[in-house]
Structure 1
Amino acid sequence: MDIALILGIVLAFGSLYAMITMEGAHVEALLHPAPMILVFGATIAIGIASGTVSDAIYAFKSLPRAFKGAGATSIGPLLDKIVGYAERARAEGLLALESGVADEKDPFLRQALQNIADGTDAEDLRIIMEDQIASVAARNRTAARFYNLMGGYAPTVGIVGTVVSLTHVLEQLDKPDTLGPLIAAAFVATLWGLLSANFLWLPIGGRLQRLAELEVDRMTVLMEGMLAVQAGSPPHLVEERLRALAPDAPKKPARKGTDEPAMEQIP
C-alpha cells in the first residue's frame, strides 16, 4: 500500500489547521453546512453531468484504488516469475506452461500463458496484449479525468455560493451589526471550493493518472517478457531484457557461493 495520497492530504489539512490556530481563528468558523453542501454536492453533480453514468460509477469505484495505491506495487516478483516460465519453456516446451495457468493470480499473465500454451501466433499474441493494455489505459484515464474535471469546477461553484450569500448580505444592510459575520460566512463557499479542488479532487485525479501510467508500464514489461518466453529466449536474456525495461525492480538475492540471482521455481 502506497500512502502518498493519504499523507499528502493529511499534511495539507494539517497545515491549514496550523494556520487557523496561529491566526487565533476557530475551525468552527469554516464549517458552515450550507456552503459545504453546495460546493461538494454541485461539484459532484456537475462532474457526473460532464460524462456518462458509467464513467461516474467507474470513477467512484476507482477511489479506493487511489488511496491504496493499487498499480504502484513492485514488479520484481513478477519478473522473477516470468524468468521461471522461461526456464520451464526451455526445459519442457511451451505446452508445459499450461500447468501454471490455474495457479497464476495476475489475470494479464494468466491469459498470456493460456494463449502461449494454445499455440497463438506471436504477432496475434502481441496484438491481443496491446489491446488489453489500451483498454486498461482508457478506463483509467476516464477515472482520472472525472476528478480533474471536478477540481476545475469546484472553485467556480464556490464563487457561485459566495455570490448567493452576498446577495443575502445586501438584503441586511439595515442591520449593520450583522454585516461582518454575514460577509465572513459568504466567503466560506469560495474557501471550500478552493480547498476541495486543491486538497482533494486534483490530487486524487493526479494520483489516478500516475497509477494508470505505472499500470501501463507494468503490463508493457510483462507483455515483452511473455513474448520473449514464447520466442524461446534463454532465461538469462529474458531477465536482462526485463531488468532493462524495469531498472528499479528489486533483484532477488544471490544464492550462496555464486554471483547469480536465485530463480523462482514455478510449480
Structure 2
Amino acid sequence: MKRNILPLVGLVVGIGLIIMAMSQNSTLINYFDGPSLVITFFGSFSAILISFPLNTLKKVPALLKKLMFTPDDDRAALLDNLTELAKKSRTQGILAIEEDIKELNNPVLIHGLEMVVDGTDVDTIEEILNVELNQTEDRHSIGQEVFLKWGEFAPAFGMIGTLIGLIAMLGDLQDPSLIGTGMATALLTTFYGSFLANMVFLPIAKNLEMQTANELKTNEMIIEGVLALQRGDNPRVMEQKLQSFLSNADQKEASKAKGNPVPATEEL
C-alpha cells in the first residue's frame, strides 16, 4: 500500500480557506464557542453511539487508516499475472502454478488459485468467491454508514444548538443590545454542524465508498480470471475478457507495451 496524503492536504486547504474567510470580517475568537461545539460534536457523536453497536464502532479506527493509504490496485499487473498463469497451466498443467501461488500477496487471488489447483469445480469456486466478495462489501460499508450518519446528525445537532440559543435569547430581552451577540452565538452551532458534515464526515464517507468500489472491481476481475483458469479458457481469450476491467489509460499502456497499435478512437 502507498501513502496517500491527498485527504490530509484537502482537509488542511479547506480549513485554511474557511479560516481566511472568517478572519476577513472579524477576529477568529468570535467564531469559537465552547458550548456550541460541545452540542454539535459530542451531541452528534452520542447519536452515533445510539445508532450503531459497539462492535461496529470499534472497526471505525482501522477503516480510517485506509484514508492515508492507497491500496495496491494495479489491475494491469494483475492482468499480466493471470495471463502468464493461464499460459503456464495450459502448457504444463494446472499443478504447475502451485509454486507461483506462494509468490502472490492478494488473499482473494491466492484462495481462488488454491481451489483451482485442488480441483474444485467452477460452480463451487464461483459461489465461494462471490460470498467473500459480498462479505468484503459488507465490512467496508460499515465505515461508510457511520460517517454518512454522522454527516446527517451534525447539522441536525447544529440546528438544535441554534434553537437552544434562540430560546435562551428570546427569554431575556431586557437588554436589546445583547440580541445581536446572542443571535451570533446561536448561529455558531449551525456553522459547526455544517462544517463538520461537509468538511469532515461526508468526505470521509465518500473516500471509503470509492476505495470499496475499486477493491470490489479488482476482486471481480480476479474471480473472472480464476474461473477462466479452471475452465481452461484460451489465455488470449481470457486476456481480452479481463481487459474490460482496465481503464482506458491502462489499456493503452498495455497495448503500447506489447507493440499493438492504439485505436484512433481511444487516442482522442
Distance 1:75 1:28 in 2: 50
| TM-score in terms of structure 2 length | 0.85
The residue type paired with residue 111 of structure 2 is Q
Q: How does 1:42-191 map to 2 (within 5 A)?
A: 42-70=43-71, 73-170=73-170, 172-191=172-191
Deviations 1:80-108 (A, max 9, x none): 11112112212221112221233211111
For residues 50 and 199 of structure 1, the distance between their equivalents in structure 2, rounded to whole angstroms, comes to: 22
Q: 2:265 corresponds to which residue?
A: none
Q: CA deviation at 1:246?
A: 2.1
CA contact (8 A) 1:172 1:179 kept: no
- Could you say which residue in structure 1 is the equivalent of 2:34? 33
Deviations 1:218-253 (A, max 9, x none): 100111011112222233222211112324463458
Q: Which moved more, 1:205-214 or 1:124-133?
A: 205-214
Q: Is the 8 A contact 2:85 2:97 kept in 1?
A: yes
Which whole-Å CA distance do the structure 1 matches of 2:31 and 2:75 have between them?
Answer: 44
Task: Give the structure 2 partner of residue 18 of structure 1.
Answer: 20
1:234 to 2:230 alignment: no
- Count of equivalent residues: 257
Q: 2:263 maps to which residue? A: none
Kept in 2, the 8 Å contact 1:75–1:249? The answer is: no
Deviation at 1:172, TM superposition (A): 4.9
Q: Distance in 1 between matches of 2:99 and 2:92?
A: 11
C-alpha deviations, 1:4-62, integer Å up to 9, x for none?
Answer: 5334433432332232233x222222232322222111212212311222222223321
Deviations 1:182-232 (A, max 9, x none): 332222111101111111111111221222111111100111011112222
> 1:265 aligns to what?
none
| One-letter identity of the residue aligned with 1:146 | V
Structure with higher helix content: 2
- Structure 1 residue ranges without an equivalent (≥5): 261-267
**Secondary structure of the corresponding residue to residue 66 of structure 2:** helix
Root-mean-square deviation (CA, aligned residues, Å) is 2.5
- SS of corresponding position for 2:239: helix
TM normalised by structure 1 equals 0.85
CA distance 1:69–1:46, change in 2 (3 Å): farther
Question: Which is worse superposed, 186-195 or 40-49?
Answer: 40-49
* Amino-acid identity (%): 22
